[in-house]
Amino acid sequence: MATLIDLGERPVRELNQALHCTAATSWRVLNPRGAHAVACGVREAHAIDVEGHVGYYCAGMNQHATVTVHGNAGTGVAENMMSGTVRVRGNASQSAGATAHGGLLVIDGDASARCGISMKGADIIVGGSVGHMSAFMGQAGRLVVCGDAGDALGDSLYEARIYVRGTVKSLGADCVEKEMRNEHLTELAELLKAAERDEDPADFRRYGSARQLYHFKVDNATSY
Amino acid sequence: MEPASQGLRESATFDRATIHAIQRAAETGIYDIRGWGAKRKLPHFDDLLLLGASMSRYPLEGYRERCDTDVVLGTRHAKQPLRLDTPVTIAGMSFGALSAQAKEALGRGASEAGTSTTTGDGGMTPEERGHSKHLVYQYLPSRYGMNPDDLRAADAIEVVLGQGAKPGGGGMLLGQKITERVAGMRTLPVGIDQRSACRHPDWTGPDDLAIKILELREITDWEKPVYVKVGATRTYYDVKLAVHAGADVVVVDGMQGGTAATQDVFIEHVGIPTLAALPQAVRALQELGVHREVQLIVSGGIRGGADMAKALALGADAVALGTAALIALGDNHPKHDAGYRELGSAAGYFDDYQDGRDPAGISTQDAELSARLDPVEGGRRLANFLRVMTMEAQTLARACGKAHLHHLEPEDLVALTIESAAMARVPLAGTDWIPGAGL
């Protein structure tokens, strides 16, 4: 039986304090009404269902918990997540999964600009499309986009890997399309399965860093 | 024979450093990247003087009467504000830019003197946490090494929007310093030239910053003070916005503030001097009615107790050291002169922190060079310096009749130049004229 917290009646502070101080259990959060910082900084393997839309930084810096947002998420959902799983049933605003070091972020709908910006090891699967500058300076981890990608995908990419099923409006500096080998099809199939999606990995293209901007050279000045 | 003794005249416009810069650019095709802060002559605390007591003011006895120095930072919202013995802190400098030994020495020295030190880009090292009684954790745009466990292990959080050496600029740590350990902490390939972003990835503007600060407070259960650090530019407005965003402490870093690696043109031509920024920050806090409730830390060219006393008199709650702390550890020490000369520099001139070959073992990741710095000895030197600074400031404050460093006030100051009088908003010495006052 999940513990019920109604944010229509109690403040977010009370919710987060309870999540920080309680051993792993199940929670249902009602009436979030766009509140910010819902279920952020959680360290235990709680299962948290948020029934509605959330504001900025829901599940920020998550560790171990499974957070499901039954609605849309504002800016920076699961930012700097370290581990665990965050799932958004609706759409996500900007900077979803920003700088996330680990864990799994699934967005069933679309994600806005800068999805996966500076990602550092997390896996992000977007059922719909992503906005411009997604995976900007992505260092590690995988970004899977089942729809389309906006401008400047993977700009200044480090070692993050990107898979896109639809069209890419444009690639950012130093981001190139790469061959889809068997190991990539295998890892993509695993990611799609983890996100409970049924797309065929063979329909995706892979993008990564050309690694031409890893060293600051004057000849590259016009590439930045 | 010296050229000048032959009647030859050097150009003030094209001095030797300028000529060299043009020649260097022509040869390499790339701008100069270096460490340190602005080297040009700027209006500074040297341009202010303190008015000691005489007939109209009552001094305190130098070796007998108390002059307290403690400061509490983060009283506005944090459950656990920082309580420091002296209002001089160590500014953020990264492991990566500095060796682990240097970071440990900074922690040791600050702790011995009863004050705080600060992490930097790239996260927190165990050496630093272990040897720092009070450790401020920087929250930077790159989020390299950003970890909620470290956030919770810190004593305060500093949201960095910019620094005085390069307001509006990101960072660059050149490949020679990206060792396996540094790369591992930052989740980057070994040996690449690492770029740090100039903007935060998940918020833009002061309204978003308020929500970001809320998140940081929620994650740390409202225990930690949250600082906001800005490079000095539009300081009056930036400080007001930082207060509105919920900062407990505002850190203003003037253009003399140091850097580990920035374009020379950026260091010398962007930002405003610490002396110009400080009164703007104080005015902003006063107008909002939060001066002393939101504490103000000022950095950028702070070199000793006189600078500290003058900054406090102008309304700062504390000052922070970067370059001076490194010098205390042994940076630019004459004993390393031969090593500096091998790199084309000399003791007193060395600023190639970006290069990673620092003979003093401070701004390097080279194991052999790093081993030259004994963290225990370095910590002792820094603690000595911090104690001397504090005693110097007490000496000056007692002479002005103050029983606490924070009792120093603008009325205790006069300016030596019209420029410094206008910036500091204190009268030109021997007059009651404050240029611009009342306009």
The CATH number for B146's domain is: 3.20.20.70
Total of domains in chain B: 1
| Nearby residues of B149 by Cβ (< 8 Å), 6 or more positions away | A63
- Quote the mean pLDDT of chain B: 96
Find the farthest-apart pair of alpha carbons in chain A and give their distance in angstroms, rounded.
62
Evaluate whether residue A190 is within a structural domain: yes
**Closest of A205, A171, A202, A62 to residue B149, by C-alpha:** A62
Q: What residue ranges of chain A have pLDDT lower than 70?
A: 218-224
For residue B36, what are the β-bridge partners? B259
Quick one: average pLDDT of B10-32?
94
Cβ of B215 within 8 Å of Cβ of A156? The answer is no
Residue B411 CA to residue B313 CA, distance in Å, equals 8
Evaluate whether residue B195 is within a structural domain: yes
Which pLDDT tens digit goes with each residue over B416-425?
999 999 999 9
Residue A64 CA to residue A80 CA, distance in Å, equals 13
Predicted pLDDT of residue A106: 98
Total of domains in chain A: 2
Evaluate whether residue A119 is within a structural domain: no
Q: Show the domain range for A15.
A: 1-109
Q: Show the domain range for B162.
A: 33-424
ipTM, interface predicted TM-score of the complex: 0.97
DSSP assignment of B205-271: HHHHHHHHHHHHHHHTTT-S-EEEEEESSSHHHHHHHHHHHT-SEEEEE-TT--EEEEEHHHHHHSS
For residue A161, what are the β-bridge partners? A142
Indicate the SS3 state at residue B173.
strand
Cβ of A40 within 8 Å of Cβ of B212? The answer is no
Evaluate whether residue B374 is within a structural domain: yes
B132 has a pLDDT exceeding 80: yes
Evaluate whether residue A168 is within a structural domain: yes
Quick one: average pLDDT of B207-219?
98
Predicted pLDDT of residue A221: 64
Same domain, A11 and A54: yes
Higher per-residue pLDDT: B246 or B57: B246
Which residue of A120, A134, A224 is the best one to mutate when testing the B interface, meaning the one whose CB has the most B CBs within 10 A?
Answer: A120
Structure tokens at B223: 């225990």
B127 has a pLDDT exceeding 90: no
User: Which run of H or E residues covers position B150?
Assistant: helix B148-153
Evaluate whether residue B239 is within a structural domain: yes
- Scanning B21-40 for CB atoms below 8 A from A yields 28-30
Predicted pLDDT of residue B193: 87
Last residue of a domain, one of A90, A109, A128: A109
Cβ of A214 within 8 Å of Cβ of B189? The answer is yes
B184 has a pLDDT exceeding 80: yes
Residue B187 is nearest to which of A117, A140, A214, comparing CB atoms? Answer: A140
Cβ distance A135 to A127 under 8 Å?
A: no
Evaluate whether residue A86 is within a structural domain: yes
Evaluate whether residue B20 is within a structural domain: no
Predicted pLDDT of residue A222: 62
Which residue of A16, A22, A81 is the best one to mutate when testing the B interface, meaning the one whose CB has the most B CBs within 10 A?
Answer: A16
Residue A37 is nearest to which of B143, B202, B218, comparing CB atoms? Answer: B218
Residue A98 CA to residue A58 CA, distance in Å, equals 12
Quick one: average pLDDT of B169-186?
87
Predicted pLDDT of residue B62: 85
- Scanning A101-130 for CB atoms below 8 A from B yields 101, 114, 117-118, 120-121
Evaluate whether residue A147 is within a structural domain: yes
User: Which run of H or E residues covers position B111?
Assistant: helix B100-112
Cβ of B218 within 8 Å of Cβ of A216? The answer is no
Last residue of a domain, one of A109, A133, A162: A109
Same domain, A156 and A224: yes
Indicate the SS3 state at residue B22.
helix
B64 has a pLDDT exceeding 90: no
Which pLDDT tens digit goes with each residue over B258-269?
999 999 999 999
For residue B84, what are the β-bridge partners? B71
